[in-house]
Every structure is written in C-alpha cells, then in structure tokens.
Amino acid sequence: MKITPLDIQQMQFRTSLRGYSKREVDHFLEDLAQTVEGLTRENQALRDKLAATEEQLAVLKKSESTLSHALVTAQAFTDDLKQAAQRDAELIMKEAELKAAELVREAQAELAGTQREILDLRKQRLMAIERLRSTLRSFERMVEIEMGDEAHADQAEKLIGG
C-alpha cells in the first residue's frame, strides 16, 4: 500500500488509557508528513530531471548518429574528390606527355624539312657556281676567239699592206 503525505496527516489512532501522548504522535506525524512530502517532491523532481536527461540523451544520440553519418559522408566525399583529382592529374599528365611528344615530332619534322632545304640550297648554289664558271669559260673562249681573230686580221693586214 502506498502512503502519501496526506494519508499520514489524516491518520487517526485510537487512544487507550495508557496509550501514547496524542500531542507527540500528532507532532511526529506532522513532521513525518512534511518529510515524506519533501521526499515525494524531490523524487518527482528527480523523475522529471531523469526524463529530461533521457530526452536530451536521445537527442544527443540522434545528433551523434547524424554527425557520424555526416562524417562518413564527408569522408566518402573527400575520398571521391581525391580520386577525381588524382584522375584529373593523371589525365593532364598524359595530355601533356602526348602534347610534348607531338611537339617533338613536329620539331623533328621541321628540322628534317629545314635540313632538306639547306641541302637543296647548297646544291642550287653549287649548280649556280658551276653555271657561272661554265658561262665564264664560254666568255673566255669567245674572248680568245675574238682576240685570235684580231691577231689574224692584223697579220693579214700586215701581209696585204706590207
């Protein structure tokens, strides 16, 4: 049976001839009622505080779960970003290597073309020099012939005029 402070306050004892002092019993019951009432209030306050604490605990556990999930999600996102950045870096490196190889091929092709042009120009120079020499020789022969004709003409004049 549950006894409340009100039950204690309203409790009536039978009195007998040699029984307890009514005043002392009433005074004791009053003190007891106040003590039980205080304990009941304290008990209720503790129950309320426990309920509030359990609510806070539930909220904190939910927050912890949410934060844990957010942390896992953030870590996964970070890992994805790292992998994407790694892939992008590798792609950029491959593109740079291909571009560098293409530039080297183009430079080598241009060098080979320039070397061919230089050889062609050297051949043309040699051919031009040879043509000039040939032309000079032709002129030299023509001059010699002219000189020879003049010498013959002078001799012929000397013979005729002479």
The predicted-structure confidence for 32-55, as pLDDT tens digits, reads as follows 888 888 998 999 999 999 999 999
DSSP string, 58-97: HHHHHHHHHHHHHHHHHHHHHHHHHHHHHHHHHHHHHHHH
Report whether pLDDT(8) > 80. Answer: no
What are 56's two structure tokens? 């806070």
Average pLDDT over the chain, rounded to an integer: 90
83-106 pLDDT per residue, tens: 999 999 999 999 999 999 999 999
41 to 7, 8, 27, 44, 109: CA distances (angstroms): 16, 16, 21, 5, 99
Q: Is the pLDDT at 20 greater than 80, yes or no? A: no
Q: Determine the distance from the C-alpha atom of residue 82 to the mean position of all C-alpha atoms in its chain, rounded to a whole number.
A: 6
The two tokens of residue 3 are 């006894």
Domain that holds residue 130: 5-161
Give exposure, 93-111, as e/b (b: 16+ Cβ within 10 Å).
eeeeeeeeeeeeeeeeeee
Please report, rounded to a whole number, the percentage of residues in the chain having pLDDT higher than 70: 98
pLDDT at 159: 76
Around Cβ 28, how many Cβ atoms within 10 Å? 13
pLDDT of residue 1: 55
pLDDT at position 106 is: 97
Give the number of domains in the chain. Answer: 1
